[in-house]
Amino acid sequence: MNALLKRVWIGLAAALIVSLAAAVMPDRIQVGDDGRIHLGAPAPTPSPSAAVPTPESTSPPLTRDAVDEVIRTAVSAAGLDPAQGRPTGAAGADSNRTGWMAVREKSAAQSDMNAICTDLERQGWTPNPNGDRADASRSYQRGGWYLLVSTRGKTQAPSTASTLTDSQTYLTLTGLRLNLSDIPLPEITVRIG
């Protein structure tokens, strides 16, 4: 009986791990209707009723300096002074991460975020069609980089940040260079159950 119970728990744990992985990397891991898991296999053909995500533009890879300039330009286009905020990554410390943050009044933060997002789209950044909350965060991709524009309050404030009043929030742009296609996954089919 213990062996059977152990196999059930292992199967449940494996199913949970694969489900989470499929949610994080839907283009690399698929779970079929028959319970088969496909790793590294091409994505299944979406149904006609499913929303088709906007493909990333075929822009060349960007450097961190170029992304820093994109952030400064977008912040300036929103009518803000980039020098009034602070960078979230030290120059030269990590070439795969950058960002900018400023304390803003909640009443102005949403319109500032909208103006920044409008300028990012003008600069050729592709919006993420899934998972964004228009009132709190939006994400974009281009040239191997992902930018997250968000407003966040006290509960998610960085530990090194100053204390906010009830009428203030943080306006942040966070840039990360990720290339998930560099992670080699063999094509494997596993059947659970």
Mean of the per-residue pLDDT values for the chain? 75
Is residue 11 over pLDDT 70?
A: no
pLDDT digits (tens, 9 = 90+) for 174-185: 999 876 655 555
State pTM to two decimals.
0.60
Say if residue 190's pLDDT is above 80: no
Among 55-64, 98-107, 122-131, the minimum mean pLDDT is found in: 55-64
Q: pLDDT at position 2, please? A: 74
Residue 50: predicted pLDDT: 47
Mean pLDDT of 129-138: 73
- Spatial distance between the Cα atoms of 176 and 67, rounded to a whole number of angstroms: 9
102-124 pLDDT, tens digit each: 999 988 999 999 999 999 999 99
Domains, the chain, ordered by start: 2-43 (no CATH), 64-180 (3.30.310)
Which of 83-87, 160-164, 189-193 reaches the highest mean pLDDT? 83-87
- Which has more confidence, 19 or 128? 128
